[in-house]
Structure 1
Amino acid sequence: MASTSSREVAHNGLWKNNPALVQLLGLCPLLAVTGSVVNALGLGLATMLVLAGSNTVVSMIRNHVSEAVKIPAFVMIIATFTTCTELLMQAFTYELYTILGIFIPLIVTNCMILGRAEAFACKNPVAISLFDGLMMGGGFGLVLLLIGAIREILGSGTLFADMHLLFGPIAENWTLHLFGEGYGFLIAVLPPGAFLVAGMLIALKNIIDDRVEKRQAARREPVTTGTKRVRTTGVIS
């Protein structure tokens, strides 16, 4: 894996071509289950596992599958990894699985996963395809986590509540109460709150990108400190 390629893949997945903030894929689960950090983290990890696994297998079989059955084969691979992830959650994080509900099996229909299989994994070697899956899944998961944290803080006044659903008894005392007992801001935990938070994050990314682009353009412009006429061999410059 070339270092330049890995940097580009990481930059694309985490920022430049982020699935949630730029491609706007997977918005249904992103908006539906990000009412808390534990929900967002659980879905983010599940999605990243499916994406990394499916990318790896698609890359391994890319030279052995004809165009006629390529998409059905990709869907079967994604469905297999989704089922495995679902069974793992049922075995080890059953309460969290019941909270996330239908959004775990619906990972199969996430356009981000099939899109990466079609656009990247079936055209690149195994190592870089696995890395692409981790970065794209990580970028999607980070946005889920950020939205979940903001909504949990604004909506309930807590952070890291119910983390034992994912990490077990060790995380029972991780809850931070930021605004005291009785605090609540209902709109933040309802679907409109998810739209508002996601919209603000997209706007913030666009502002940052615009400022970075302007700064880079300013650096590329020639710096002139005044007009200077120099005569050399009959040529005036």
Structure 2
Amino acid sequence: MAGRALVTGAASGIGRAIAERLVADGWRVFAVDLAPDETGPGEPFAADLATRDGNRAAVDAAVERFGGLDALVANAGFQHVSPFADFDEDRWDALVAVLLTSPFLLARYAWPHLRESGEGRIVVLASVHGLVASPFKAGYVAAKHGVVGLVKTLALEGAADGIRAVAICPGYVGTPLVERQVVAQAEQRGISEDEALREVLLEPQAIRELIEPEEVANVAAFLLGPGGRAFTGAPVVLDNGWTAR
């Protein structure tokens, strides 16, 4: 299966790797980001996914450009590390807006086009933190748990129209977002960045290695392809053994 896909957070990290892989597989990709890279894969489009207008504009522009949509990959996100007692309320609102409300809005606006496709696919990057928690990440963990529930509901309601929805739940991936988390965790705990990476971030994993963005892209490509037809309504976990504990 190759068709027309909208990918958010496509300028760097996991989103860029997914967009690059889909383009290589023959997909037409509408690459959405707050500040898209015009030299990157797919057709760049700028949108603020923390707003309703931004999410609607992204879907409308993709449909106008491609004449429809066959797949939605909701990947855009960011992190905020803080003790709960000091967790900034504006950061909480922003995290929920981008990590949970944006996938809801994108799916809602794309729904009729995915239905028309006949075999629409929705892939949400939910993180292992959609299944487990870590300290100092209240907003991120809450939003990611929520989006796993959203995906289950989308799968149940979309089944009659051939729409499949899956949440990818990776452990720590070597992206700029994780690099910033290492710095923040080191500052919070008063330790070195090397210690923060291995002894804090990677400590829950049986294999203490970062996952590469391309590895996540491989999973997304499989889920969007013919082999992914039986996957819907469930988290797909690649976490180096984190949730085995």
**TM-score interval, smaller chain:** under 0.3
TM-score (norm 2): 0.23
Larger Rg: 1
Higher RCO (Cα < 8 Å, 6 or more apart): 1
TM-score (norm 1): 0.24
More helix by share: 1
